[in-house]
Amino acid sequence: MNKNCCSKTWCQIYDSLRQIRNCRFLICIISIILLFCHNDLYSQKFLTDTIYIDFKGDSILSAGQVCIKDIIDNRDETPDFVMYRAKKKFLILPVDQEILTIKPVSEAILNGFKTNDNCNLSYTIHINKFEIEKRQGRFSSSTFLVADIPVYEHKDDSSHYLGTLFYDHQYHPLHKKELFPESAQNLLNNWHIAFKTDLIKLNTLQDNSDKELPTNLIIAPNDKPLYLHVRTGAFAGRNWYGLQGEIFFSRPETSNRYKTTSGIVRYQNNSDYESISIGRNSEHFTFRKNDNLSLDIDLNILLGFLKWKDVKMHNPTLYQIINAEVSSIQSIILDRKNKQGFTFRVGTIEALAYIYNKKLQFHAGGFLEFGYKF
């Protein structure tokens, strides 16, 4: 074989190996980005599992004085559906898990109630939504039973709409090693106790109108089951300023304390560089003070891409075109409870940024934001 040909072949192999080695950093960047992306990166699922939960309904709390005429399941899913989630098998294979109850949800809900067509006072229950949700935050995750249940009252041959019971019922595991089927069953039974308690309250209002309505009963017939929040804001501190966009969904408020998660995009400008950062599952902890005013604390982890202002002075390496950041905003929000409309937010912001082989940078300043709740 020609020696020149062999030399050329080995040179090509050597160049290819150098290119592969130079791609390591690019692979690291892509891996970091994937960590901040949505877990479901596949257009097709390979396997499907079904898990059955024994939702018997609570039998301890007596609700025999409440007469249920009918339960109507309006969901698009099957009558026994309670959850749909994605899991990984063997760490890499995406698997769809469908969580079903052994008997229909409507049948389990009826447990403990009186079912008789001849009652002088009875109720018809609609199930518009009934689902277990796993809500992932950047710092924590929680499991909820989410349900929308309109209630109609029948009395003396007439019927009318009482309101919709909205539930975001959070479950706290009884022990750390509690398996998911056990947690799901406990969550369903705990929710059923809360539901029976609410119907008992509604039923006692017929004899005592001075008693308070359940806090999660929203009477407005056109109230939305889900709100879309779109917000844009600006912030500034010493040698530091920026802009931020945020979008997230929220359920109707049924308590004075609640948590939501959002996605944000943030532009920052300081004395050394400019950056564009992205945050996913940023957590808002909101405390409602009255129908118009709330206090809010949010916690964010962001991944950013940098543009250095003076490349010659800083001489950045490839590792220094990205940064990681932890930030928090404490604010007062003008936002009408369970109403569409404009929102206004003002407060303070703190951010701690990390760049490879550079000192940690801490910034603090004022924050101002406008938005609209659809």
Domain tally, the chain: 2
Residue 52's Cβ-side half-sphere holds a number of Cα atoms within 13 Å equal to 5
Distances (CA, A) of 266 to 163, 236, 283, 305: 40, 13, 15, 11
CA–CA distance, 105 with 102 (Å, rounded to integer):
9
From the list 158, 207, 203, the residue with the least C-alpha distance to 65 is 203
- 3-class secondary structure, 22: helix
Clarify whether residues 117 and 213 are in a common domain: yes
CA–CA distance, 264 with 301 (Å, rounded to integer):
10
Mark which of 218, 236, 263 sits at the end of a domain: 218
**pTM > 0.85: yes or no:** no
Q: What is the pLDDT of residue 193?
A: 92
**Adjacent-strand bridge partners of 282:** 262
Clarify whether residues 128 and 246 are in a common domain: no
Residue 316 belongs to domain with CATH number = 2.40.160.20
Mark which of 194, 218, 242 sits at the end of a domain: 218
Q: Provide block-wise average pLDDT over 10 residues at a time, the chain (374 residues).
A: 46 47 48 44 48 83 83 93 77 77 91 79 92 78 89 85 91 79 89 92 75 84 85 95 94 89 93 92 92 94 91 84 94 94 96 92 95 95
Clarify whether residues 155 and 238 are in a common domain: no
Clarify whether residues 138 and 257 are in a common domain: no
**Adjacent-strand bridge partners of 248:** 229
Mark which of 163, 191, 218 sits at the end of a domain: 218
Clarify whether residues 53 and 200 are in a common domain: yes
- Which residues have CB under 8 Å from 275's CB, separation 6+? 267, 268, 304, 305, 306, 307, 323
Clarify whether residues 294 and 197 are in a common domain: no
Sign of the Cα pseudo-torsion (341, 342, 348, 351, in order): positive
Determine, yes or no, domain membership for 5.
Answer: no
State the angle between helix axes of 3-22 and 24-36 in degrees (0 to 180), rounded to the nearest 10. 30
Clarify whether residues 103 and 131 are in a common domain: yes
Q: What is the pLDDT of residue 138?
A: 65
Clarify whether residues 210 and 242 are in a common domain: no
From the list 336, 275, 320, the residue with the least C-alpha distance to 302 is 275
Domain of residue 261: give its range: 227-373
Clarify whether residues 117 and 264 are in a common domain: no
Determine, yes or no, domain membership for 235.
Answer: yes
Determine, yes or no, domain membership for 121.
Answer: yes
Q: What is the pLDDT of residue 236?
A: 95
Clarify whether residues 232 and 125 are in a common domain: no
Determine, yes or no, domain membership for 234.
Answer: yes
Determine, yes or no, domain membership for 42.
Answer: no
Determine, yes or no, domain membership for 349.
Answer: yes
Clarify whether residues 233 and 194 are in a common domain: no
Q: What is the pLDDT of residue 221?
A: 65
- Which residues have CB under 8 Å from 340's CB, separation 6+? 224, 227, 373, 374
Angle, vertex CA 134, rays to CA 132 and CA 137, nearest 5: 150
Determine, yes or no, domain membership for 23.
Answer: no
Specify the DSSP class assigned to residue 321: G
Q: What is the pLDDT of residue 250?
A: 92
258 touches 114 (CB < 8 A): no
From the list 23, 30, 28, 106, the residue with the least C-alpha distance to 68 is 106
Clarify whether residues 128 and 213 are in a common domain: yes
Determine, yes or no, domain membership for 33.
Answer: no
